[in-house]
Chain A
Amino acid sequence: MYLQKDNHISRHAPYKKCIRDENDKPIGLLPQAFEMRAERNEKALSVNWLEYYKDTHVQNVTKMVTDFRTTRTVGLNSAFGIANVGELELACATMNQTSVRILYDSKATSKTKSSNASHATIIRLPFNDDDFQSILSSNIFTEIIPNSSIP
């Protein structure tokens, strides 16, 4: 199913793809955090759906991060960028990409037997387009949660 416009998604970025302030604290995600990997033939960006957890925003973030950590190693200095689904789709639409959606496929997620149960994907984004990567970095994934801030 496609996520509703008032929902939220998060994207993980390692230290090397974070914009950091003078104290080395993450305050944003680099445009390069939204690169798709050609060698893997990636055609969508992996994200996590926060409302999957059906709790408050803060609790949703905490539960998502907790789940995410069970699926892979997550560096202490990494961060999660949070975005609103409607804002993302609107930003893409203003750049003539009206078909961009965030897809949550519960069947696909359960098939992988992954504990990353909230996994979703941003689909139909232009492949590694500088303008889109810049918009996602500067205007869309603007709420930043340092991994170290979640116990």
Chain B
Amino acid sequence: MNDITLTPLGTSFNRIQSTDLKDTTKSNVDGYPMSLNAQFSGDILNQALLNDIDKLFESIRRVESNIPSSKENNSTRQTLDEVIFDARANVKVLFSEISMYFPTELKEKLFHQIDLLHDTDDWEDGDNPVQISSFKTFLRWFYLDQPSQLPNFGMSNGGLLIATWLSNHNKDRLILEFRSDDHIKWFATKHYDDEQDMSSGITSASRLIHHLASYKASDWFIKP
């Protein structure tokens, strides 16, 4: 099979390249190689991927148990700066512990933008720092679908991590908001000649690619 093979745990992340896509003879939804659609039940590859992810999240749980929560490490009220510092540190520690499963470029971009997302000059009353549960959903989705084109990151008032991709001279947009418990809200805008197609919805990390099937999502996810 010419599809992308799974990266064994503990080795460097095997990113999907455009050449891989061209060589893919057994593609399915939207021309994706199997590793981007590995959620199809009964597939040997699918089961192997899920096993990998289970191990990945065992690692996450182990790391989380070592991260003191803001409630635990504090008998007095934290200042905003402290809350933000803790939140940024927590996601960076978490990512660093499992970074071997992800591309180096993702770490660099994510860490840089996580700091900018928490700019206290732009902080309003009621804003929340990035939520670990949202970050975990992002990691799980990224590990499942392995986009070679990295997104830019944003964040909602509630501290939900957002990832955005652009294509077609920045006219076509995909915006993913990562919620807790593996749920993702998507906003897609695509142009077909003079027509604009928009959709939004909420799905699970493993089913997102199905919902994007009609949008040729590879335009966003595969590095040109």
A30 touches B121 (CB 8 A): no
Tell me, yes or no, whether B166 is within 8 Å of chain A by CB: yes
Chain B residue nearest to A75 in the complex (CB): B122
B187 touches A31 (CB 8 A): yes
Number of cross-chain contacts by CB at 8 Å = 85
A17 touches B154 (CB 8 A): yes
For the complex formed, measure the closest distance between the CB of A98 and the CB atoms of chain B, giving whole angstroms.
20
The interface size bin for chain A is 20 to 34
**Interface residues of chain A: helix, strand, loop or mixed (majority):** mixed
B198 touches A16 (CB 8 A): no
**Interface residues of chain B: helix, strand, loop or mixed (majority):** strand
A16 touches B173 (CB 8 A): no
The complex places the Cα of A35 from the Cα of B189 at a distance, in Å, of 19
B154 touches A77 (CB 8 A): no
Interface size on B, residues (CB 8 A): 29
**Known A-B contacts A73-B121, A74-B122, A75-B122; A32 and B156 likewise in contact (beta carbons under 8 Å):** yes
Tell me, yes or no, whether A110 is within 8 Å of chain B by CB: no
Nearest 7 pairs of A and B residues by beta carbon: A14-B122, A75-B122, A16-B155, A75-B121, A130-B200, A16-B117, A32-B156
Contact residues of A with B, CB < 8 Å? 14-22, 24, 27-28, 30-32, 35, 37, 39-40, 73-78, 130-131, 133-135, 137-139
Contact residues of B with A, CB < 8 Å? 116-119, 121-126, 152, 154-157, 162, 164, 166, 170, 173, 175, 177, 185, 187, 189, 196, 198, 200-201
